[in-house]
């Protein structure tokens, strides 16, 4: 397909697509003349993935580029880079959160990198829960790890069972970014459902708020 | 405590605190002279919550303000507003994603608002999974709903069991924003653990990447 059709199919303007081509987020099409190139469904899927990384994942163009570059290195590298860029800067952990993190990882039997973005985020959030006057969240959150373990195992099985390497890699990235947002939205729906049961009067007054 | 101590305790600069006071994110202290006010631990906790909303939740000052304003209306309003601002703009749903959303909500027995930010996000992500060449994510994600339901029910129980209304409301906001980030980080740790088992060679080569 030509550039105009690629724009229609992806829902992105020609100017945006040309920007992604220049920045190396989108591989060049097959050149058919000095001024024209042909694109295929792989380009459409790639553009939609870039859109999802930026719009759903909230990534910058630079971060999206890092993820796409890592996709050339295989599913493990793609997964790690997607994790890195999804998590912003974190504070240095204090002893209290370090101990709780170590206990969590030990109790789950996880072999994980203690300096990874996800590990730093866990320690940071434990400290933040404590410092915002919600230290009891830490005990409450102990139930989260079992659910995360079950989901994470199924996610990796799903990824590894995909038909080819390209699909595995795309699945690693889409699964990380879209899956996080999807679970979060489902958890919010469950909060709606159970909080209406819990506070029916407030819910009736605010029916148009939630 | 004086402003200087509030700054030390909260880890925020005096300029930032004065900005939050002007913008109404932080309630004023108790005035002790025309130029001085006294602050208490409630101010420290509130500043840490504002920091968490902005740094962890990625909210703008305007969105953080909307959440803090809703906190005066009760736990249900605080929860709904936290959900609204955590989820950005979404696309209009097509029939395909609308049908899948309806089936999900029916199968879970959830009574939720179909126009809420979370419901729109679910429909949007179903379409995005399909359009990025990952339509099999939709079937894979069916397992997510049971976990989200279990967590969501426990979250609302935890919130409702807190000692007083202020703690319930703070818990609604902190639980929504911090809890989403915490579960996401745990899921990433599980991805690390199971993907190292799945791709041990690639993992060994990239030990410093994840």
For A57-102, the DSSP string reads S---HHHHHHHHHHGGG-HHHHHHHHHHHHS---PPP-HHHHHHHH
Q: Is residue A209 pLDDT above 70, yes or no?
A: no
Query: Residue A74: which region, alpha, beta or left (left: phi > 0; alpha: psi -120 to 50)?
Result: left
Q: Mean of the pLDDT values across residues B158-173?
A: 90
Q: Mean of the pLDDT values across residues A78-92?
A: 87
Q: Is residue A92 pLDDT above 90, yes or no?
A: no
pLDDT of residue A208: 52
Q: Mean of the pLDDT values across residues B19-26?
A: 92
Q: Is residue A23 pLDDT above 70, yes or no?
A: yes
pLDDT of residue B209: 52
Residues of chain A with C-beta less than 8 angstroms from the C-beta of B162: 136
State pLDDT tens for residues A165-176: 888 998 899 999
Local structure of residue B71 (DSSP, 8 states): G
Would you state the structure tokens that stand for residue A13, as one six-digit string? 């303007």
pLDDT of residue B204: 77
* Mean pLDDT of chain A, nearest integer: 91
Local structure of residue B93 (DSSP, 8 states): P
Distance (Å) of CA A47 to CA A22, A25, A26, A159: 14, 9, 7, 21
Please give the distance of CA B75 from its chain centroid, rounded to a whole number. 14
A-B contacts at Cβ under 8 angstroms: 339
Task: Note whether A28 contacts B: Cβ–Cβ < 8 A.
Answer: no
Q: Is residue B210 pLDDT above 70, yes or no?
A: no
State pLDDT tens for residues A66-79: 999 888 888 888 89
pLDDT of residue B28: 93
pLDDT of residue A105: 97
Record: contact A147-B147, CB cut-off 8 A: yes
ipTM: 0.91
pLDDT of residue A207: 61
Q: Mean of the pLDDT values across residues B68-91?
A: 87
Nearest Cα to A85, choosing from A112, A49, A58, A108? A58
Task: Note whether B102 contacts A: Cβ–Cβ < 8 A.
Answer: no
Position B201 confidence tier, pLDDT thresholds 50, 70, 90: confident
Q: Mean of the pLDDT values across residues B26-54?
A: 91
Name the pTM for this structure.
Answer: 0.90
Q: Strand, coil or helix: what is A164? A: coil
Q: How far off is chain A from B35, nearest CA to CA, in Å?
A: 28
pLDDT of residue A121: 95
């Amino acid at each position: 397909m030509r550039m105009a059709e690629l724009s229609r199919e992806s829902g992105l303007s020609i100017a945006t697509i040309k920007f992604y081509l220049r920045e190396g987020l989108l591989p060049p099409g097959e050149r058919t003349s000095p001024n024209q190139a042909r694109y295929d469904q792989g380009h459409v899927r790639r553009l939609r993935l870039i859109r999802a990384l930026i719009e759903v994942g909230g990534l910058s163009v630079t971060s999206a580029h890092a993820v796409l570059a890592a996709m050339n290195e295989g599913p493990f590298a793609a997964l790690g880079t997607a994790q890195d860029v999804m998590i912003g800067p974190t504070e240095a952990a204090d002893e209290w959160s370090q101990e709780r993190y170590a206990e969590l990882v030990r109790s789950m039997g996880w072999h994980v990198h203690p300096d990874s973005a996800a590990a730093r985020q866990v320690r940071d959030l434990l400290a933040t829960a404590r410092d915002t006057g919600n230290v009891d969240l830490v005990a409450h959150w102990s139930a989260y790890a079992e659910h995360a373990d079950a989901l994470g195992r199924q996610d990796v099985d799903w990824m590894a069972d995909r038909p080819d390497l390209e699909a595995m890699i795309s699945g690693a990235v889409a699964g990380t970014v879209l899956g996080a947002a999807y679970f979060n939205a489902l958890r919010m729906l469950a909060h709606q459902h159970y909080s209406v049961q819990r506070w029916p009067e407030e819910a009736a007054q605010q029916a148009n708020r939630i």
